[in-house]
Structure 1
Amino acid sequence: MEFTFKRALIVSLLSAAFANASAAPITIITSFPKEITDTYKKAFEQKYPDIKVEVLNKNTTASLAFIKEASAGQRADIFWASAPDAFEVLSREKLLSKAGDIKNSAAPEKIGNYPMNDPDGLYYGQALSGYGLMWNTRYLKANKLPAPAEWSDLTKGIYFGHVAVSAPSRSGTTHLTVETMLQGEGWDKGWMQLIEIAGNCKAITERSFGVPDGVNSGQFGIGMVIDFFGLAGKYSGFPVEFAYPTVTSVVPASIGLINGAKNPTDASKFMAFSLSNEGQALLLDPKISRMPIVSYDKLQGKVPAGYPNIFDVAKKSKVQFNSDLAQVRYHVVTSMFDQTITFRHKELQATTKAIHEAEQKLAAKPNPQAAELIKQARELAYSPVVDEALLKKPAFLDLFSKSVSKKGMGEFADKQLANLEDQWNSKAKANYAKALELAQQASAAIK
């Protein structure tokens, strides 16, 4: 009898151990930094010791490609990112599944006019995000620079060589920042402002992390960032500050269950944990510094002094973000930025420097001829290469849609797109060269 009991106990323990060892871990694909993912992984695994979490860190564009290319049953379980338009892409291509009733009832239905969760229940707002400016206080003091308050401040000559931004093709949060500016200012004015700011930039970084890391360390003076980058630096003890400009937007950073996931049951538990008040309190960790989807009084965590109230920011925001518009022109915007800014940054920098120098001379000694030359230089250098009217033409937008290849036109469309991008690149190069020449002529005319 005793032998039978011991044998049964051993079999039971071995079976449990085998079940735990063979259970598939949750795989999360995300663009978030390790400070966020490690904190949530540790807290979740403490709460559910039988469930393991694996994190694949990829930028938003690479994440979408990774999910699309994997076969059903072999995909990652969870997509977790700041870009609402990325979730729209996955939703449209039927790559998201409902995770069940896991919403936090304390969260509002909307942030401003923007829905907190997908109406069809395919993804959920897990944190809130705004976009703005972070700066290193010691750097600005050493260089005798005022703190910027608006995006337009960064176009001023005093900030030449002191700013940094990442490429939106490499960073979903930068794409949201760019889209916010375009939607807030309008296509033409927004692009002119973006190109001017880029001309003042010391660097266009490959990853979004490169901007806050550079500002925290004093490599850059000012960075264009999502709010949690600036706030995390500030509340982790770096000499940095962060501010929301009036042209900003507040949207949810979302979490969704991938259709064809390997472990949807446990993945839903992780999602529910991240949305719960317990999971929301983790956002207040200084090294994370994200905005929860519930009011601070619902959380047990201590709110740092001076921590923004994101719901107030949303009420004052001038931009009601349109994710449908952002999604439709996503690849147009990222490609335009790369072809005219990222890949031609040295030429743009040189032209911008020459324009600033000419304007400085003109301010000291007015000259009508020089003023006209500078005006022409600005128009050439900072006007967008794509007219807004083109965005209303389906054939133009189809060139940037990855679904074109499914129609049997992939190779032809790819060649058309490559030719178009080459034209943008060449036009930007020629415009910067001519604008540089005009700015130099303006300087020479002022004696």
Structure 2
Amino acid sequence: MRIHPLAAALALTLSGLAQAGTVTIVTSFPKELTDTYRKAFEARHPGIKLEVLNKNTKAGISYLRETPAGQRPDVFWVSDPSAFEVLGRDKLLQKAPDARNPKVPAKVGNYPINDPDGLYYGQALSGYGIMTNTRYMQANKLPAPKEWADLTKAVYFGHVAISSPSRSGTTHLTVETILQGEGWDKGWRQLLQIGSNCAAVTDRSFSVPDGVNNGQYGIGMVIDFFGLASRSSGFPVDFVYPSVTAVVPANIGLITGAKNPDEATRFIAYTLSLEGQQLLFDPKVSRMPVLPYADSGLKVPAGYPDIFEIARSAKVQFNAEVSEERYALVTGMFDQMITFRLKELQAASRAIYDAERKLAGKLNAQGNDLLKQARDLAYTPLVSEADIKDPKFLALFRANKQDVAVAKQLTGMEEAWNSKAKANYAQAEGLARQAAALAR
């Protein structure tokens, strides 16, 4: 059948109009949050529809890199500021000055809320902490942890959950906060001990709060809004901010080569407006606004945390550039030493805890020396602080992984870490068993 040219032109025009009325958002945020914003924005702007593509942070970055300009989605909206550093470096973000809200302060603590170059804006503020199921804790007679270091204790073995930082931007921020707060070597030692106490390393960040809510796990390492939202929904949970925490913005930005930049800018502006910021207090969302509580017109629920106060007392001044520079290194190490070797790491710690109990209070130099060797093997990172001070070493992890030689070198390095971790944990378990056998 021959289509009349006028009909074809009309179809194209209508298609273009429909396309122009749709803003596509790439985000890692849960459906409860995106649905809240979608319904409110579409009610305010009935001619614009929001389409949400839910992807974890790493997958979202890859998607933007692989999509040609003119076909890309419009808005990128995630928690991890390192992701925006990457996109800015790759020229995948463009300025949207009309979206800026001048009432947003320049900083939270000492951390800039908006990008100094205007490529993205802080839309909500987040801290990172410890979520507990109070019934689980009571049933298992567990003390409530207050600091990350508490989670290294033997009493929490098998009771903790964390998601993989390579799969979750918020978990990457938690891991990086510990590394920046404690230092590289001490921070990794702490992370390896916490990892050994984990019942699971999940693929997605929301699997951790879901597991804490239903009592599958007693303790979860999470971004604050997971704990606050669960508590608002009536689950038997508590949430605490450790002293070693950071408060950073969850950002939103306009994508270079977006299909509908004008409508996308209107959405970004809406999320930063008083109405858009008020939505953060919705119990299903439970996030912290970038607008300060005083003199902003916000209606703050009773008992809601003041994130600006928390930021003033936080011990970590988060450095997003450092985080971005070593992102691939940190996530790769975590997976090879913890995620993919969790059973072996658990076995090593189980043997170490057993030896500690049997040697407690006893003067047994040989046993204690073996125990120290076991701990060092199990909890020493495979990449040292001296290694990361080498610019050439770090540059490898920022190189183009499409390059066959680079990919081969990185794969070989990660395989070596995996094998070394397995061998170290087996040796640590053996030494701990020897130490336990010496207890009299």
Q: TM-score, normalised by structure 2?
A: 0.95
Counterpart of 2:104 (choices 107, 110, 114) is 107
- Alpha-carbon deviation of 1:119? 0.9
Alignment partner of 1:51 is 2:44: no
Structure 2 residue 282 is matched with structure 1 residue 293: no
Cα pair 1:278 1:299 within 8 Å, conserved: no
Does the 8 A contact of 1:282 with 1:301 survive in 2?
A: no
Partner SS state of residue 108, structure 1: coil
What are the superposed Cα offsets for residues 251-299 of structure 1, whole Å, 9 maximum, x if unpaired? 1100000000000000000000000010000000111110001123456
Amino acid in the other structure paired with 1:358: A
Question: What are the within-5 Å matches in structure 2 for residues 261-300 of structure 1?
Answer: 261-298=258-295
Residue 400 of structure 2 aligns to a residue in which SS?
helix
One-letter code of the match for 2:83? A
Note if contact 1:281-1:300 (Cα within 8 Å) is conserved in structure 2. Answer: no
Query: Which residue number corresponds to residue 417 of structure 1?
Result: 410
Which of 51, 72, 75 is residue 75 of structure 1 equivalent to? 72
TM-score of the superposed pair, with normalisation by structure 1: 0.93
Given the alignment of the two structures, is residue 194 of structure 1 paired with residue 191 of structure 2, yes or no? yes
The code of the aligned residue for 1:33 comes to P
- Aligned twin of 1:132: 129
Equivalent residue, structure 1, for 2:62: 65
Deviation sequence 1:160-197 (CA, Å, 0-9, x none): 00000000000000000000000000000000000000
Structure 1 equivalent of residue 3 of structure 2? none
Aligned to 1:377: 374
2:200 match: 203
Distance 2:297 2:311 in 1: 23
User: Is 1:183 matched with 2:180?
Assistant: yes
CA contact (8 A) 1:24 1:262 kept: no
Contact 1:155 1:200 in 2 (8 A): yes
RMSD between superposed Cα atoms in Å: 1.7
**One-letter amino acid of the structure 2 residue matched with residue 389 of structure 1:** A
> Partner residue of 1:26?
23
Q: Give the match's secondary structure for 2:70.
A: coil
Distance 1:389 1:27 in 2: 44
Q: 2:156 aligns with which of 150, 155, 159?
A: 159
Which of 420, 433, 440 is the equivalent residue of 1:440? Answer: 433
C-alpha contact (below 8 Å) 1:398/1:404 kept by paired residues: no
Structure 1 partner of 2:400 = 403
Unmatched tracts of structure 2, length 5 or more: 1-10
Q: 1:35 aligns with which of 14, 32, 38?
A: 32
Query: Displacement of 1:368 after TM fit?
Result: 2.1
Aligned-residue offset at 1:17: 8.0
Match of 2:91 among 70, 75, 94: 94
**Among candidates 310, 319, 325, match of residue 328 of structure 1:** 325
Q: Percent identity?
A: 63
Change (3 A) 1:19 1:189: closer
Letter in 2 for 1:107: V
SS at match of 1:179: helix
Superposed, 1:218-297 pairs within 5 Å as 218-297=215-294
Matched, 1:429 2:426: no
- Once residues 383 and 16 of structure 2 are traced to their aligned partners in structure 1, the CA distance between those partners, rounded to angstroms, is 57
Q: Does the 8 Å contact 1:281/1:299 carry over to 2?
A: no
> Hey, what's the Cα distance between the residues in 2 that align with 1:67 and 1:420?
27
- C-alpha distance in 2 between matches for 1:307 and 1:218: 25
> Any idea what SS the aligned residue of 1:133 has?
strand
In the alignment, is the contact (CA less than 8 A) between 1:399 and 1:414 conserved in 2? no
Equivalent position to 1:171, from 162, 168, 171: 168
Distance change >3 Å, CA 185–CA 59, structure 1 → 2: same
CA distance in 2 between counterparts of 1:417 and 1:400 reads 8
How far did residue 371 of structure 1 move? 1.2
SS at match of 1:283: helix
Q: What is aligned with 1:7?
A: none
Gaps of 5+ in 1: 1-13
Structure 1 residues 388 and 22: CA distance shift in structure 2, 3 A: closer
Distance 1:302 1:413 in 2: 52
CA displacement at 1:22 relative to structure 2: 5.0
